[in-house]
Amino acid sequence: MTYTIKRTFAILFMAIFGSVLLYNCEPETDNLGEQLFLNDAAQGEETPYDVIAYNINNNDSIRSDASTMYTIIGSTRKAVLGAFTENQFGMQRASYLTQLRLPSYSPDFGTNATVDSVVLVVKPTYDTSLLTTTEEDNGYKFGDIEAKKIVNTYPVYKYGKTEINGATPQFTIKVNEVQDFLNGQNDIAYSNQNFASFSEELGSKVFNGNVNSVTITKDSDGTSIYTSSAVGLRIPLKASFFQTKIIDHASSSDLKDVSNFIRYFRGLKISVAESDGYLFQFNPDDIELIMYYKNDKTENGTTTRPQSTYKFTMGAANTHIGHYEYDRTDTEFKNFVIGDKEKGDAKLYLQGMGGPSIGIKIPENTIKDLKKLYQDNKTAIIGARIRIYSDPSWNNGYSNLASQYERPGADSFTIIQKDKDANGKETTAFTTDMLNLSGSLNFAIYKVYDLDKNPTHYDFTITKSLKDIVETGEGYTNKYFKIDLGNFTPTSSAVLAGPKYTQRTFSPERVVLIGNDPLFSDKKIQLWVVHSKK
């Protein structure tokens, strides 16, 4: 099975960079190149060359504030919760911190206001096609009304284990008040940055991996009495805390403006107690915090206490931070993530959410050989790709879906070019293949082969990047390629935001690949070049 990442938002670079064309109208071999290779029509000799591939240890840290959580810039965000342990990468636990705001300040909750209940609603991404429906209508009552309760249950999309010791993993999801000020929405925060929270829990709930919606209808005529506002996980919080913190404090200066409030009520931390299971995603802008309360209402001499609903503002205006913990003790990770830039690393460990990246450098001898072929034999490059195979040890096949489907590979990557400017400062750029070929039919940043098998292998296109070095004399001393998990992030107009904007912050995937391992001569990472003579 072959999976192809098509065209890379095809119009994007024409919009940004103008009509930068790789080819002219003359059909000379050294000007053709990738358009033949893209259509599997390249006629020439394909030769493997060695490269130096090494792990880049990111110290288990990544920028994880609100501005890095976008799946689409300015629109949809993703955050991660859960925990996952396996013997290659170790333990990874994801927590989430958020501010909250009042819908309006100096609130008036009326006379003798008391909190009935408070609920935090988290809405994980779930599989709408896998639905289980439960109905209760045998003597069920909603208050004094004979009714029927319909519960629709959906499995959440997960990355991790489908079972532990024969049972479906469950999490105890905890909510705590944050002690430290979380700063502003546009301030930088990192995933290993610790923000203290109070030890007293505001609430918790056991999560079995499913979310549901509830509808209650009358038995008499079938009309709806109640429909839950959204499919999600509802976590009950302590009413007494919000009575003291909000209702009893309503007239204070702490609730008179946003600046005071986010320093008074600094935020919430949502975490899991366990260290193994799976990771799941949700949109932090969709979280709801709802307070139900009663107050005195007097009309015509009669006093009643109707229930009211108060929704805190939990969306885009708030600070959102992902907090990730790692434990690499007694893992293969510690033995292989060396970062040898001279000989390369035998195994390559690629992981999102702050785990390691891969650096790939083409050796000087390889460049010299290719230049000699071009200059002496008029042999041009018409195709070039870095081929990487998954390591046989990575055969666990962790689930990436709500169902039981499992696979050993990963299927979302970025590749960028790194170099140094005249002042010695490292630069980051899209590969020149992306800049010049993204509008071409069948162009792919990379192609994935046999994703459901082991080994999976990946081909990363670097034709134009290599041609520039070999055929135009572009410098290569400080140039290398960097590969990460997670896609590039588009804007709402389907244009990629830039080489530094990726979805690595919330990508739960990981994979072990074969690097410069002499034991795998036929599967070690290599540069494959297609040549053709004029």
Q: Residue 198 above 90 pLDDT? A: yes
pLDDT of residue 401: 55
Tens digits of residue pLDDT in 225-243: 888 878 999 999 999 999 9
> With 60 as the cut, is the pLDDT of residue 66 above it?
yes
pLDDT at site 31: 41
| Mean pLDDT in residue range 463-486 | 93
Structure-model confidence comparison of residues 304 and 525, the more confident one: 525
Mean pLDDT of all residues in 474-498: 93
Task: Decide if pLDDT at 35 tops 60.
Answer: no
Residue appearing with tokens 């030890």: 199
Report yes or no: 169 and 268 within 8 Å, Cβ to Cβ: no
As a whole number, mean pLDDT of residues 312-340 equals 94
Instruction: Quote the CA–CA distance of 203 and 83 in Å, as a whole number.
Output: 19
Residue 399 has pLDDT above 70, yes or no: no
Average pLDDT, integer, range 323-352: 96
- For residues 419-434, average pLDDT: 94
Query: Residue 349 is inside which H or E element, if any?
Result: strand 347-351
Band of residue 277 on the pLDDT scale cut at 50, 70, 90: very high
DSSP-derived letter for residue 128 is T
* Alpha-carbon span 374 to 368, nearest angstrom: 10
Low-confidence winner among 18-22, 352-356, 460-464 (lowest mean pLDDT): 18-22
pLDDT digit string (tens) for 411-425?
Answer: 899 999 999 999 999
CA distance 7 to 447: 11
Residue 450: CB atoms within 10 Å: 17
Going through 139-275 in order, the beta strands assigned E by DSSP cover: 141-142, 145-155, 159-160, 171-178, 197-207, 210-218, 224-227, 233-237, 268-272
How many other CB atoms sit within 10 Å of the CB of residue 422?
Answer: 5
Q: State the Cα–Cα distance between residues 277 and 508, nearest whole angstrom.
A: 13
Model confidence band, residue 222 (pLDDT cutoffs 50, 70, 90):
confident
533 or 55, which is more confident? 55
Neighbours of 115 (CB within 10 A): 23
Flag whether pLDDT at 28 surpasses 80.
no
Percent of the chain surpassing pLDDT 70: 88
- In whole angstroms, what is the distance from residue 501 CA to residue 512 CA? 24
Phi and psi angles of residue 356, each rounded to the nearest 5 degrees, phi first = -70, 155
Question: What pLDDT, on a 0 to 100 scale, did the predictor assign at position 185?
Answer: 87
* Span 202-225, average pLDDT: 92
Higher pLDDT, 439 or 330: 330
Would you state the pLDDT for residue 39?
47
* Banded model confidence at residue 340, pLDDT cuts 50, 70, 90: very high
Query: What integer is the mean pLDDT of 397-406?
Result: 52
What pLDDT does residue 27 have?
35
Q: Are 284 and 77 in contact (CB under 8 A)?
A: yes
Please tell me the predicted confidence (pLDDT) of residue 396: 59
Residue 301 binned pLDDT confidence (cut-offs 50, 70, 90): confident
Q: Which of 15-19, 67-71, 291-295 has the lowest mean pLDDT?
A: 15-19
User: Which range, of 7-11, 94-98, 128-132, averages the lowest pLDDT?
Assistant: 7-11
Q: What percent of the chain has pLDDT over 90?
A: 67
- Asked if 114 contacts 293 with a C-beta cutoff of 8 angstroms, the reply is yes
Question: Which pLDDT belongs to residue 513?
Answer: 95
Q: Work out the mean pLDDT of the chain and round it to a whole number.
A: 88
Q: What is the DSSP string of 55-118?
A: EE--TT--B-BGGG-BSSBTS-B-EEEEEEEETTTEEEEEEEEE--B-SSSS----EEEEEEEE
pLDDT attached to residue 43: 58
8 Å CB contact between 421 and 361:
no
The pLDDT, as a whole number, for residue 400 is 60
The phi, psi pair for 241, rounded to 5°, reads -65, -45
Which pLDDT band, with edges at 50, 70 and 90, does 379 fall under?
A: confident
Asked if 482 contacts 55 with a C-beta cutoff of 8 angstroms, the reply is no
| Position with higher pLDDT, 497 vs 454 | 497
